[in-house]
Amino acid sequence: MKKQFWSKSLAGLAAIALVFTFTAQVQAKTWKMSFGDAAGGTQWETGKKYAEILEKKAGGKIKFDFFPNGQLGSEQDTVNDCSMDTLDFSVLAVNNLTPFSPTVGVLTLPYVIQGIDDAVALTQGTLGEELAKNTLRDAGVRIVAWTYSGFRVLTNSKRPVKTIADLKGLVIRVPKNAIMIDSYKAWGINPTPMAWSETFTALQQKVVDGQDNPFITVNAMKFYEIQKYVTTLRYLFSLEPIIMSEELFQRQNPEMQKMILDAGKEATAYSKQWLVDTEDSIKKSLVEKGMVIDDAANGEKEWIEKATKAVWPKYYDSIGGKEKLESALKILGRSL
């Protein structure tokens, strides 16, 4: 009789546990995260790590679905979608956020950031906090983490490029970003603004000869299949924030909001270390796959002089005044 009683009790407890488990699964929220890049790049690594950290902190109350390679639209489209609360999260290049929040452009002025430590100093200090507030005000989205992707190196299918003169005659794709367009104009060519989703095909079909992106993106997008020459320009360090729908953030209780922000800090730190640990091996891999890598001549002196002289003054107003650039450079121990 006792055996039968305990057997029934255990069965009852198991049934209750099953109900609770099922209920928890039903109640788990699924959030969508969009990526402009393919799986395997810095965007993917940081976004996946962010989701992993937050899912763990939330104890299974949320989960993420991932949409790489622009499946949910262009990176600029996803800014609008997050702003309208029709998309939860997006990982995108900061240059595609700048049209919506122009002061963020201080991070994309050529040759301001000269290494990963500069990138961390500008995004994680008081300036980074200010730019995040401006983005919330201007674009209606919240920056919750930063991806550090490395310098945007120039690739092309025609010839080695070491000097500005070597650029002549090349058709170079750039994002639809005014600062980047003007940087190339300062070097004497008119680049071709083009959506990221169209770039691989345009390179493949020789509509354009080249493009610029970090080594890790070049590898993730398999540009080595259609591009041979690489120039290690350091005019723009690629920053790729994770943005979140502000309406979604405000619907969360204070405990979840803290988890969201804490996960961002951890994912940002992970991104820096991942870049440090990975970039050199990716570079070697690209050489093994047939790419030829050259440095720009004379430490990019001519590139730097032309770009900073032509571009910096043109964007003082949009970034919040000349003093905004001065304050950024001061953080980095430099001056105008």
DSSP for 96-122 reads GTTTTSGGGGGGTSTTS--SHHHHHHH
Using an 8 Å Cβ cutoff, are 176 and 77 in contact?
A: no
pLDDT at 72: 97
Q: How does residue 28 score in pLDDT terms, banded at 50, 70 and 90?
A: confident
Q: How does residue 135 score in pLDDT terms, banded at 50, 70 and 90?
A: very high
pLDDT above 80 for 166? yes
H/E run at residue 57? helix 42-57
Q: What is the mean pLDDT of residues 89-113?
A: 96
Could you give the 3-state DSSP secondary structure of residue 145? strand
pLDDT at 5: 45
**Cα 239 to Cα 17, 83, 138, 165, 200, distances in angstroms:** 45, 20, 19, 28, 21
Condensed to tens digits (0 to 9), the pLDDT of residues 280-307 reads: 999 999 999 999 999 999 999 999 999 9
pLDDT above 80 for 25? no
pLDDT above 50 for 197? yes
Q: How does residue 4 score in pLDDT terms, banded at 50, 70 and 90?
A: low
pLDDT at 23: 42
pLDDT above 60 for 47? yes
Q: Which domains does the chain have, with CATH numbers?
A: 28-331 (3.40.190.170)
Condensed to tens digits (0 to 9), the pLDDT of residues 53-86 reads: 999 999 999 999 999 999 999 999 999 999 999 9
pLDDT above 70 for 187? yes
For 121, counting Cβ atoms within 10 Å of its Cβ (0-12 exposed, 13-18 middle, 19+ buried), the class is middle
pTM more than 0.85: yes
Q: How does residue 154 score in pLDDT terms, banded at 50, 70 and 90?
A: very high
Dihedrals phi, psi of 240, to nearest 5 degrees? -135, 95
pLDDT at 264: 98
pLDDT above 50 for 16? no
pLDDT above 50 for 157? yes
Dihedrals phi, psi of 170, to nearest 5 degrees? -85, 140
pLDDT above 90 for 213? yes
pLDDT at 182: 98
